[in-house]
Structure 1
């Protein structure tokens, strides 16, 4: 009996080790694939965004202003740049900057439309670090709004736990303003976050600093407030819905589901029955800063730009 028991125990232990041996390569293979996938994703990102070109996107715009919908256009320029963490400007000599050199995703948002006899020209620039673990907050945002009555310039700079807010305005009611705003996600950085984070945004209730353009158009003091972000997905599109909980403002953003997660369209609803809407017309990859000659104007036609 003891002999049979010993044989049974030996067979059980042998079988146990055999099963463990079979599982080990599977686990190792699974980890290896995951690491490979991470590297492939990183290489895909680097190949696209560090190839010495910017992504230029043109949009057909329907802009709500003064109780009517105005036709216009938007250009979104996405590009990576070496950025000074301390000075918060583009670096002329990145290699000499050492740890002060932060790689950022810059978004220049150029919006143009006409109201009656006169036109609006709006430019917002957002600078969001690529390494969101080391630098979780956008470093800088500025917006200039020009129209025939006058112009304003607004800028936010990250200073430790606050944004330093400065605004310069032609209008007496605004004047020159300076204050500090507790750090939170910026509405303008939603699009840079989408491009950096594989098309993803934080979901649920968050603190969000509403758009500098909305602040000017709706005469609201810019501040952090509660908002809720939700998403739905189809086969090819991720749709985000951003709802401000204390303001009558809702935004939707349609995003390409696959890399490079282009912004396909967006809407802005301020509760007045009129919805601002932008839809993608054309997207190009170009080193636009070198395209300054008359012959380069052909690229504007390719982008289907009106103005």
Structure 2
């Protein structure tokens, strides 16, 4: 995995189309951003997970993997060699958001990858896959000039294979990256948001913008997160009744300590129940994990407290 140092003045630019209001405001990258994020390492955090599904709470684990990398503007994939075409290079913060949990006999494995430019212009790509023993589902959003192109692949007859477009709107999936870039740029007040792709797939909801209220406030200290450092809570309350709260450190690098997601769980039930998915950070480390793929490196999973 290759990295090029990116100057902090990129945060002052915005690449929205002329005449368009950007979905989120740009905020200067924090002091120390480069020293933390341009080391050639990723930040890996493990979480204990209590996942709502089928009217019950299931135990599992989650991992958030944040890393800066050079992306292709034209192809919207990671560049193999950014020096061959510098004009095509787009520095991004990538989040790989993984969840694993069991429902009875069979496992769920979910992964969402989100690519957000360091200049805080609209996120260029989100892809989500959900695998379980019934089959698998894939959703991808690609930013075009004035819209997101959405591709949905599903084994459910009611969803099937679809290609559609969405207006450029703030994506819930990108807000995790924007917390890390600078939480001062998070949208607050009455907003339009596209709910997270994992939520919409698990609940078989259409992928479309919804009205919500967003707030950013100090979070009360709690033994749950095992820290006395000042915390902040970013809360999304959707008109539909769903509520998402992301807890993170007030100080840079704004590490995410956990989240609560409350909604009416409709999956596999004639009488939906309101349940809360909850995740709490276990451990965090910085590591060039793409080089740790031999048997001798299994110990790194112990360092994160992950199952082998």
- TM-score normalised according to structure 1 size: 0.83
1:268 aligns with 2:264: no
Is 1:113 the counterpart of 2:101 in the alignment? yes
Once the two structures are TM-superposed, the CA of residue 163 in structure 1 deviates from its matched residue by: 0.4
The runs of at least 4 consecutive aligned structure 1 residues that moved more than 6 Å come to none
How much has 1:42 moved relative to structure 2?
5.4
Moved more, 145-154 or 263-272: 263-272
Q: Which is richer in helix?
A: 1
Q: Are 1:45 and 2:39 matched, yes or no?
A: no
CA deviation profile, 1:61-84 (whole Å, cap 9, x unmatched)? 000000000000000000000000
| Contact 1:199–1:261 (8 Å) recurs in 2 | no
1:77-99 CA-to-partner distances (Å, cap 9, x unmatched) read 00000000110000011012222
Q: What is the CA distance between 1:198 and its match in structure 2?
A: 4.6
1:179 aligns with 2:159: no
SS at match of 1:274: strand
- Work out which of the residue numbers 20, 42, 46 in structure 2 matches 1:58: 46
Residue 257 (structure 1) shift: 0.7
Contact 1:111-1:123 at 8 Å conserved across structures = yes
Describe the shift of the 1:197–1:301 C-alpha distance in structure 2 as closer, same or farther (beyond 3 A). same
Tell me: CA distance 1:177–1:286, structure 2 relative to 1, closer, same or farther (3 Å). Answer: same
SS of the residue corresponding to residue 157 of structure 2 reads coil
Q: CA deviation at 1:231?
A: 2.0
Q: Which whole-Å CA distance do the structure 2 matches of 1:240 and 1:41 have between them? A: 19
Task: Give TM-score scaled by structure 2 length.
Answer: 0.83
Quick check: which has more Rg, 1 or 2? 1
Q: Residue 238 of structure 2 aligns with which residue?
A: 244
8 Å Cα contact 2:30/2:181 also seen in 1: no
**Aligned residue runs from structure 1 range 134-283, under 5 A:** 136-198=121-183, 200-234=185-219, 236-245=230-239, 247-271=240-264, 272-283=273-284
Q: Report if the CA contact (8 A) 2:190-2:214 is conserved.
A: yes
Query: Counterpart of 1:89 in 2: which secondary structure?
Result: coil
Greater relative contact order (CA < 8 Å, ≥ 6 in sequence): 2
- Cα RMSD (Å) of the superposition? 1.5
Query: Does the C-alpha gap of structure 1 residues 42 and 211 become closer, same or farther in structure 2, counting only changes over 3 Å?
Result: closer
What is the 5 A alignment of 1:55-94?
Answer: 55-94=43-82
Give 1:200 deviation, angstroms.
4.8
CA shift, 1:181, in A, is 0.5
Alignment deviations for residues 29-61 of structure 1 (CA, whole Å, 9 cap, x no partner): xxxxxxxxxxx9755100110100000000000
d(CA) in 1 for partners of 2:73, 2:32 = 26
Measured against aligned partners, the alpha-carbon deviations of 1:190-209 in whole angstroms (never above 9, x if no partner) come to 11000011565121111110
* Cα pair 1:152 1:168 within 8 Å, conserved: yes
Partner secondary structure for residue 273 of structure 1: strand
Cα distance in structure 1, aligned partners of 2:283 and 2:114: 22
Query: 1:70, 1:42 → 2: CA distance?
Result: 37
Higher mean Cα deviation, 121-130 or 193-202?
193-202
State whether residues 244 and 261 of structure 2, in contact with CA within 8 Å, keep that contact through their aligned partners in structure 1.
yes
Counterpart in the other structure of 2:23: none
Q: In structure 1, how many angstroms separate the alpha carbons of the residues matched to 2:98 and 2:29?
A: 30
d(CA) in 1 for partners of 2:233 and 2:172? 16
Q: Deviation per CA, 1:217-276: give whole Å up to 9, x if none.
A: 22211011211111221561001110112x121100101011100000101101333100
Query: Quick check: 219-228 or 102-111, which moved more?
Result: 219-228
- Native 8 Å contact 2:30 2:182 kept in 1: no
Distance across 1 between alignment mates of 2:45 and 2:98: 10
